[in-house]
Amino acid sequence: MKQPFVTKDQLVDIAERYPTPFHLYDEAGIRANARAVREAFSWNPGFREYFAVKANPNPTLVGILAEEGCGCDCSSLTELMIARLLGITGEKIMFSSNDTPAEDFRLARELGAIVNFDDISHIPFFEEVAGPVGPVASCRFNPGGLFRLANGIMDSPGDSKYGMTEEQLFEAYRMLVARGCATLGLHAFLASNTHGNEYYPALARILFELAVRLHEETGAHVGFVNLSGGVGIPYRPDDEPCDIRAIGEGVRRAYEEVLVPAGMDDVAIYTEMGRFMMGPYGCLVTLALHEKRIYKDYLGVDASAVDLIRPAMYGAYHHITVMGQAGGPDKSSWPASRTYDVTGNLCENNDKFAVDRALPEVERGDLLVIHDTGAHGYSMGYNYNGRLRSAEVLLREDGSTELIRRAETPSDYFATLDVTKGQSLRNIK
Ligand SMILES: *Cc1c(COP(=O)(O)O)cnc(C)c1O
């Protein structure tokens, strides 16, 4: 059974201090997992995980990962600013953006980030708007067609907007070598939320073989191969979790079979995981507000898709545990005797955290935990219906809690209006 990282009594306590809904994060889980990742790739002296900041841009959480040795994978101006805020600069930033605005490139250069070029045309664009490319740069590869592993089609890179064709990649490498880049990297992201332990090793083999050819044909020194993100997590109770140690071993085998015989045994392995680093270590805590029985049974909670859009956007499964309430029984292991659609309050019928979900009997005031919201949860939030974004709370290793982002207030919602142009705004407060 999938269990939350807090007990019912702990959660009741926390919810007395911070009004629901809020995202709750587990520092101990984040640190233990980051250490397991580092350990799994410890055979590679240059290994670095660049945490994909878009998955969870809370500076406190990014800072915890930085303490565990992670860099930042940024893709926008404000994500770069978060890295800078934390004192993360230079080669500890991978700037993996696409359709990149000039000011983003300018800040990336100012911070000395490694720029991972998404397109060959971005190289002259970068030089025009930001100045010379630094001594280290990277290119993103898109092999086109379908990406298959032994167990079937994983994704269709041919339909994806990212990366360069193989021909462009060789040309881009020649351009960068001619500009004096001493160290070049190679990056690709071919499948998202993968299960099993085969994705990284298969991707690594493709990129390693390509790296050998790039080195031979362009004379470039390939300093790193960046496997990007895509390692999945067990959202469903019966999903098998990825084994990061087995994944690291699979990459090592490909390394020894492809790179070492080519004399390229100094290549560093980089990753840019987001979901795997943070997903399981966050949950959305929400309160049961209304039970509505019409043609189906609806359980209305005080969170909505503005706090977690994945179910509404992708039909994504997020497990839900009914915890209960202060003074009441611990329902977290109760049998599922009812079937509900669990809904938020947006005027939008896809605002459902779950459809036809078997759950224990819920009463008004019960706390619910929506699992695995640590990545692409808060960060994909928005303000539809004028709904305000929730707080974020960190459960520290010592069991204490800390508010690491307050909830929005109506003033935040109205803050971007130009008050000099509207008298009536005075009435808002
Ligand atoms: C989204 C993204 C990641 C992280 O992906 P996960 O699936 O969360 O691991 C890494 N790199 C880039 C460039 C991305 O766009």
The SS3 of residue 102 is: helix
Q: pLDDT tens-digit profile of 12-29? A: 999 999 999 999 999 999
Domain count within the chain: 2
Domain of residue 388, residue span: 280-414
Distance 215 CA to ligand 1 centre (A): 26
- CATH number of residue 69's parent domain: 3.20.20.10
Distance 168 CA to ligand 1 centre (A): 22
Question: Residue 428's pLDDT is what?
Answer: 60
Q: Are residues 161 and 259 in the same domain?
A: yes
Q: Are residues 273 and 299 in the same domain?
A: no
Q: Are residues 247 and 260 in the same domain?
A: yes
Q: Are residues 194 and 183 in the same domain?
A: yes
- Which pLDDT band, with edges at 50, 70 and 90, does 151 fall under? confident
Residue 1 lies in a domain: no
Q: Are residues 343 and 274 in the same domain?
A: no
Is 36 within 8 Å of 66 (Cβ atoms)? no
Q: Are residues 303 and 201 in the same domain?
A: no
Residue 5 lies in a domain: no
Question: Residue 422's pLDDT is what?
Answer: 62
- 88 contacts: CB under 8 Å, gap ≥ 6: 62, 66, 71, 72
Q: Are residues 260 and 355 in the same domain?
A: no
Is 28 within 8 Å of 6 (Cβ atoms)? no
Mean of all residue pLDDT scores within the chain: 96
Where among 259, 278, 297 does a domain terminate?
Answer: 278
Q: Please state the atom number of ligand 1 nearest to the C-alpha of residue 277.
A: 9
* Ligand 1 lined by 230 (C-beta under 6 Å): yes
Where among 243, 278, 313 does a domain terminate?
Answer: 278
Where among 261, 278, 295 does a domain terminate?
Answer: 278
Residue 351 lies in a domain: yes
Burial of 95 (0-12, 13-18, 19+ CB in 10 A): buried
**Which residue(s) pair with 321 in the sheet?**
369
For atom 5 of ligand 1, which residue has the closest CA?
A: 229
Question: Residue 427's pLDDT is what?
Answer: 60
DSSP conformation letters of 225-247 = EE--S-B----STTPPPP-HHHH
Q: Are residues 111 and 257 in the same domain?
A: yes
Helices and strands, number each (H, E), in the chain: 12, 19
Is residue 21 reached through a cis peptide bond, with omega within 30 degrees of 0 on the bond before it?
yes
Count the neighbouring beta carbons within 10 Å of the beta carbon of residue 214.
Answer: 24
Residue 3 lies in a domain: no
Q: Please state the atom number of ligand 1 nearest to the C-alpha of residue 279.
A: 8
Residue 427 lies in a domain: no
DSSP conformation letters of 278-295 = HGGGEEEEEEEEEEEESS
Tally of CA atoms within 13 A in the half-sphere of 113 that contains its CB: 33
What whole-number distance in Å separates Cα of residue 189 and Cα of residue 140?
Answer: 8
Q: Are residues 322 and 274 in the same domain?
A: no
Q: Examine the pLDDT at 122 and tell me if it is beyond 80.
A: yes
Q: pLDDT tens-digit profile of 46-80? A: 999 999 999 999 999 999 999 999 999 999 999 99
Q: Are residues 269 and 302 in the same domain?
A: no
Q: Are residues 221 and 343 in the same domain?
A: no
Residues 118-132: b if buried by 16+ CB within 10 A, e if exposed: bbbebbeebeeebee
Q: Are residues 37 and 59 in the same domain?
A: yes
- CATH number of residue 325's parent domain: 2.40.37.10
